[in-house]
Amino acid sequence: MLAALRELPASTFARAVPYALIASIPIGVPADLIDTPIFGRPVETRPIDYVIWVIASALIGLVFAIRLPETHRDEEEQSNVRTAWSGFASFLAVGCPVCNQAVVALLGTGGALSWWAPIQPIVGLMAIGLIVWALRKRLATYSLTACPLPA
């Protein structure tokens, strides 16, 4: 996969930066990793929250920056859906455990802190794994379309 990333044109990485910044907003603002007056967080952030947030945002930006030709729009759409779901999983991984209404409804506040909070880093690693999978699929399709087949 690293070899395929090295073969990408430099413009892809330049396009990835704004995509990553855009991806970081819907993950970071509601999770209160980006401090705003709109959202608060009663539970302190952990360093792993920032690590997962940055890695997930960067990988999401890279997936969206790799453009496929018109003939492979279906593969691109599937990859975009995987990437969007992984962004949502990243948000769940870095969000405040007691601010997630679904978790509090299922487990209560005590359960959110004692059960959900400890597994959030695992959810974050799974989200990053899903993004890497989408990136691998995108790179495989990209390399198939970028290199003509020998005659």
The length of the chain, given as a count of residues: 151
Helix 73-94 crosses helix 47-65 at what angle (to 10 degrees)?
Answer: 170
Is the pTM above the cut of 0.95?
Answer: no
Residue pLDDT tens, the chain, 151 long: 888 888 888 889 999 999 999 999 999 998 889 988 888 888 889 999 999 999 999 999 999 898 776 666 777 777 778 888 888 899 889 988 887 777 888 888 888 888 888 999 999 999 999 999 989 988 888 766 554 545 5
Alpha-carbon Rg for the chain, nearest whole angstrom, is 18
- The number of C-alpha atoms within 13 Å of 76 and in the hemisphere containing its C-beta is 13
Residues 19, 58 contacting (CB under 8 angstroms): no
CA distance 73 to 68: 7
Residues 50, 33 contacting (CB under 8 angstroms): yes
